[in-house]
Structure 1
Amino acid sequence: MSQQIYINGEYFSRADAKVSVYDHGLLYGDGVFEGMRIYSGKVFRLEEHLIRLFESAAAIALPIGMTIQQLAKDTDECVAKNGLDDGYIRLVVTRGCGPLGLDPYKCSDPQIIIIADKISLYPAEMYENGLELITAATIRNHPAALSSRVKSLNYLNNIMAKMEGLRAGCVEALMLNIKGEVAECTGDNIFIVKNGKLSTPPIDAGILEGITRNAVLELAKQAGIETSEHPMTRHDIFIADECFLTGSAAEVIAAVKLDGRTIGDGKPGPITTKLNEAFRKLVRS
């Protein structure tokens, strides 16, 4: 089956799926998006993703022009048209076409794009053995500049930190906030385990409130694991018993080293493994 890409209610082949070079999503990163996983032919927590998409759009005064219910229906239809049992959805809303210049009120025709495809974020051996991280010099954006809770098309902040990690031989990098506290990684939320307790940075630490992050917190509470959301520093990660990352594309993956310091015993820990198994059961339920 050839790939079918949704643009404003119509379907196009990959070669024919196009938007204007005058779209402000391209010119200025003016737009929002969501990345969602498909498991057994269904989008995982679709409604939660769409609520976050609409909240991101509201925060930047971007009209989507349809209801959450209609967009959910169209997303499910796109998955079915592409015959994907397991895969990934990238849902993008751009500001639309406008003249050169920043004025968003001169734009028209917001573009709603749904791409259904496969994704493999990290090699299989990294899920077995864990990731090594470095701390990026590039920090998260100041919340007064752009809230980290807005999943915007402007990901240059994350990309610059990602480049730092790749240059150091790491596929992921830790990002700090303006206070020097741990925020998140370039594309994933971060958790640590210490003395059997699970911790992750709070929403006001400059993080995106991850859908997978929230699912893992729920699973931990169901398993009787004590959880907390509180500010943390690199020191907390250095002395942690376990560390792992979560994200729609990454799912759940252990981190076993930060800035050359081994975390715990340098292997994915028992709580990480337990939550990973619980998450995999959840997405198939």
Structure 2
Amino acid sequence: MKSTSLCWLNGRLLPTEQALIPVNDHGLLYGDGVFEGIRFYRRRAFRLQRHLQRLQLSARAIALEIPLSSDELTAVIERLIDAFADDDGYIRLMVTRGAGALGLNPKSCSQPNVIAIADQLTMIDIGQQAGARLIVSSVRRLPADGLDPRIKSLNYLNHILAKIEANHAGADEALLLNAQGRVAEGSADNVFIVRNGRLLTPPCSEGALEGITRELVLQLARDNGIETSEQPLGVYDLYAADECFLTGTGAELIPVASIDCRAVPCCPGPVFQGLQQAFRRTIDQECGGER
């Protein structure tokens, strides 16, 4: 089956397999760079400006100057979407430090690389299952005093290790705890639980990414009269939840069927189903018309 993956690389559109960067790019050598994942529906990028804002903040935090303005990046994304084969898809937008001398020092990297890849993405293939099977990983989320979770850097190694652990356990996804043993997030998604009708999720100070889908779900819940709370959660809270689900740009909304082989009572539960419907309505509203 021929790949439809398409890449924009420093001003050129080309099939992804033909896109090349130097092997001494510090993004490859050291994970030195930032990225965003962006969904598009009906050839319209969803919440694009929010993603570009977060990209700029991540870049500023690592002292990386993006060579394109937000308007120019918007034009890049729109051009890529227009050229892509499907109406719906996923874009990975990356800015690397660029080619430079061997060694950690970025001073020799004079020109960042801007890369955008359009493709299809399924974060968790739950197939005919009623929901995703989770484990609590032994891999801990990096603490904020080591690497702030608000920076979407190219280095996801600890999350990859957690995902490998999930693979070995036959699970779909892994949840990472922070250094204090409280719930942070999934390997590539935020986590929510429902208990006694209340929607709970860890605050970003616990090690969770400031997810764009996360913030939308919280707003949709409030708009629909659901009590919400961003509060520290322990593993017990996961086991005692009435519902659990994951959110993310790549994940969208995914119900959870079990955590560490403990069945979640409601999957998909009524709160999840209502929020999923509201989420789809928001996509229809924001991506339903002409650009």
2:82 is aligned to 80
Deviations 1:261-282 (CA, angstroms, capped at 9, x unpaired): 22224x2111011111111121
Distance in 2 between residues matched to 1:204 and 1:191, nearest whole Å: 15
* Other-structure match for 1:270: 270
| 1:252 is aligned to 2:258 | no
User: What secondary structure is seen at the aligned counterpart in 2 of 1:268?
Assistant: coil
Q: Percent identity?
A: 48
Q: Secondary structure at the match of 1:65?
A: coil
Q: How does 1:173-184 map to 2 (within 5 A)?
A: 173-184=174-185
When the two structures are superposed, what TM-score results if normalisation uses the length of structure 1? 0.96
Corresponding letter in the other structure for 2:206: A
- 1:3 and 1:179 map into 2 onto residues whose CA distance is 41
1:195 aligns with 2:182: no
Aligned to 2:289: none
275-284 or 148-157, larger mean C-alpha shift: 275-284
Q: Is the 8 A contact 2:8 2:116 kept in 1?
A: yes
Aligned to 2:170: 169
1:223 equivalenced with 2:224 (yes/no): yes
Paired with 1:113 and 1:254, the residues of 2 have a C-alpha distance of 32
Gaps of 5+ in 2: 286-291
Contact 1:40 1:284 in 2 (8 A): no
| Contact kept in structure 2, 1:183 and 1:206, CA below 8 Å | yes
Measure, in 1, the Cα distance between the counterparts of 2:84 and 2:242.
42
**Equivalent residue pairs, number:** 283
Measured at CA, do residues 98 and 238 of structure 1 come closer, stay the same or move farther in structure 2, by a change above 3 Å? same
State how 1:1-285 maps to structure 2 within 5 Å: 3-123=5-125, 125=127, 129-265=130-266, 267-285=267-285
* In 2: Cα distance, 1:15 partner to 1:134 partner: 34
User: How much does 1:3 deviate?
Assistant: 4.8
State the 1:4 CA deviation: 3.7
**Alpha-carbon distance in structure 1 between the residues aligned to 2:151 and 2:250:** 18
Quote the Cα distance in structure 1 between the aligned partners of 2:86 and 2:52: 20
Amino acid at match of 1:273: Q
The question of whether the paired residues in 2 share the 8 Å contact of 1:198 and 1:228 is answered with yes
Q: Name the amino acid aligned to 1:174.
A: L
Do the aligned residues in 2 keep the contact of 1:239 with 1:264 (CA within 8 Å)? no
Q: CA RMSD in A?
A: 1.4
Q: Is the 8 A contact 1:38 1:84 kept in 2?
A: no
Decide whether the 8 Å contact of 2:141 with 2:184 is kept in 1. yes
Distance in 1 separating the partners of 2:149 and 2:161: 16
The structural deviation recorded for 1:2 is: 6.0
Separation in 2, partners of 1:88, 1:41 = 11
Preserved contact between residue 10 and residue 113 of structure 2 (Cα < 8 Å): yes
Contact kept? 2:192, 2:245, Cα under 8 Å: yes
Cα distance change on mapping 1:202 and 1:55 into 2, 3 Å: same
TM-score (norm 2): 0.94
> What SS does the aligned partner of 1:62 have?
coil
| Change beyond 3 A, Cα 1:139–1:62 | same
AA at the equivalent of 1:270: P
Q: Once the two structures are superposed, what CA deviation does each residue of 1:147-194 show, in whole Å capped at 9, x if it has no partner?
A: 111000001010001011110001200100011110001011000111
Inter-partner Cα distance in structure 1 for 2:231 and 2:194: 13
Displacement of 1:125: 3.0
Are the structure 2 counterparts of residues 178 and 43 from structure 1 closer, same or farther at C-alpha, using a change threshold of 3 Å?
A: same
Superposed displacement of residue 283, structure 1? 1.2
3-state DSSP class of the match of 2:101? coil
Structure 1 residues 59 and 275: CA distance shift in structure 2, 3 A? same
Amino acid at match of 1:107: C
SS class of match (1:183): strand
What letter corresponds to residue 72 of structure 1 in structure 2? Answer: T
Whole-Å separation in 2 of the counterparts to 1:202 and 1:31 = 25
